[in-house]
Amino acid sequence: MSCIVDVAIIGAGAAGLFCAGVAGQRGLKVLLIDHAPKVAEKIRISGGGRCNFTNREVGPAQFLSDNPHFCRSALAGYTPQDFIALVNRHGIAWHEKHKGQLFCDHKADDLIRMLLAECDAGGVARWQPCGVHAVRCITSDQGERFELDTDRGLVRAHQLVIATGGLSIPKIGATDFGQRLAQQLGHRIVPLRPALVPLTFSADTWAPFAALAGLSLEVDIQTEALEAGKRPRPYAMHFLEDLLFTHRGLSGPAVLQISSYWREGQPIVLDLAPQRELAALLKQAKSGSRKQLSSEWALALGPSAPQRLAQTWLEQQAQHAPGLRPVAPLAEHKDKDLDALGQSANAWAIVPSGTEGYAKAEVTAGGVDTRDLSSQTLGSKLVPGLHFIGEVVDVTGWLGGYNFQWAWASAMACARALQPLPQAT
């Protein structure tokens, strides 16, 4: 015997849960399947356990894709305000942090309970843990178009939704199941890579800075990214965010943001004192100053720059520039040496050796090529009744709640398009 449903959804993360709840409440018979014992683990651990569930300022500009306009329709069809209304309806307390980021006041579990309640309201059946071992496209007199071999038996479905995410955070069960399935069924795949991930450097490059681990400050960071569809024409991407030094390299919001655009072999450029032209400040202070270069350098970097960074930076520059003497008076230094010192911190160009990989990546960039999908329904152009939503698709948001909003928006676009099994005549 087989289980026959209108819709089978593989993946009980943010997108899969939301899509299931909406489709169920539209009257469809929905089966939600996931190989993990718990639902929505990425929601549970995100945002320090409080889940940055959306951002007030969502638009296509905050998303990466080989087709940057693909996400426009879904995002317009289901906005942050729409999701906020749902959260409010469930009585979940939330607050706004800087740059439009919205978090739960208590725990991300509140959000998971909300999504499960929406599924219950729609009569959604959930099989967990339950592995899916094979997916076949079939033709049935009853209208089923897919057949799934699962741990709990055979499933037949009129429509199939893939919401399995990507490779990020394998310890919670992340896999590339959805991308492999898409490829097996003839879809193109934009190569996968870790995104929103710390950057690492070779041991030799990082040796002078490893002792600064734990130190943070606001920086302007940029890299040259390749413009989709116009390769290899470069354009600069930059962010003004906090930077965190680690034992192996750099992290913090600034680096997580730029990592999505960075490619192997490219430099990143950091301004350690945004809005402060350090060379000019040093030369202005030179007249009449009796202070040591080290003291004036710390003042020039500004109050937000930690003293350890100022000291380490000056010592490193002095090793390669004999004209810089940290304990000598500023007034004894040549303008050309002060220019070089100031410019080194206003435009620190350094080439990462790699990233911390999927274990530390918040999301997976790349995925199912949007050229093979409808932007209105997230449905496949190649396989009728097959849909891909959320992170499995080649749409990746910035840090700050954008990826969750893509999950909600893509799930809603898909759920609205799903149809029941045709009635037998």
Domain-located, residue 135: yes
If we measure between CA atoms, which residue out of 118, 19, 84 comes closest to residue 378? 19
Is 308 found in the same domain as 378? no
Domains held by the chain: number? 2
Is 166 found in the same domain as 68? yes
Using left for φ > 0, alpha for ψ between -120 and 50, and beta otherwise, residue 192 falls in beta
Is 286 found in the same domain as 171? no
Is 402 found in the same domain as 305? no
The Cα–Cα gap between 301 and 305 comes to 6
- Domain stops at, among 355, 377, 392: 355
Is 123 found in the same domain as 19? yes
Q: Is the Cα torsion angle 372, 374, 375, 377 positive or negative in sign?
A: negative
Q: Which amino acid is at 354?
A: G
Is 45 found in the same domain as 8? yes
Domain-located, residue 360: no
Domain-located, residue 407: yes
Domain-located, residue 108: yes
**CATH classification at residue 400:** 3.50.50.60
The Cα–Cα gap between 39 and 17 comes to 8
Q: What tens-digit pLDDT sequence spans the chain (425 residues)?
A: 579 999 999 999 999 999 999 999 999 999 999 999 999 999 999 999 999 999 999 999 999 999 999 999 999 999 999 999 999 999 999 999 989 999 999 999 999 999 999 999 999 999 999 999 999 999 888 889 999 999 999 999 999 999 999 999 999 999 999 999 999 999 999 999 999 999 999 999 999 999 999 999 999 999 986 555 445 445 578 999 999 999 999 999 999 999 999 999 999 999 999 999 999 999 999 987 889 999 999 999 999 899 999 999 999 999 999 999 999 999 999 999 999 999 999 999 999 999 999 999 999 999 999 999 999 999 999 999 999 999 999 999 999 999 999 999 999 999 999 999 997 54
Domain-located, residue 67: yes
Domain-located, residue 129: yes
Is 167 found in the same domain as 207? no
Domain-located, residue 424: no
The tokens of 357 are what?
A: 């990989």
**CATH classification at residue 219:** 2.40.30.10
Side-chain half-sphere CA neighbours of 355 within 13 A: 27
- Domain stops at, among 355, 378, 406: 355
Is 372 found in the same domain as 257? no
The Cα–Cα gap between 137 and 173 comes to 26
Report yes or no: 293 and 325 within 8 Å, Cβ to Cβ: yes
- Domain stops at, among 324, 355, 386: 355
Is 215 found in the same domain as 185? no
* Residue range of the domain that includes 16: 2-193+366-417
Domain-located, residue 172: yes
Is 147 found in the same domain as 44? yes
Is 342 found in the same domain as 288? yes
Is 327 found in the same domain as 262? yes
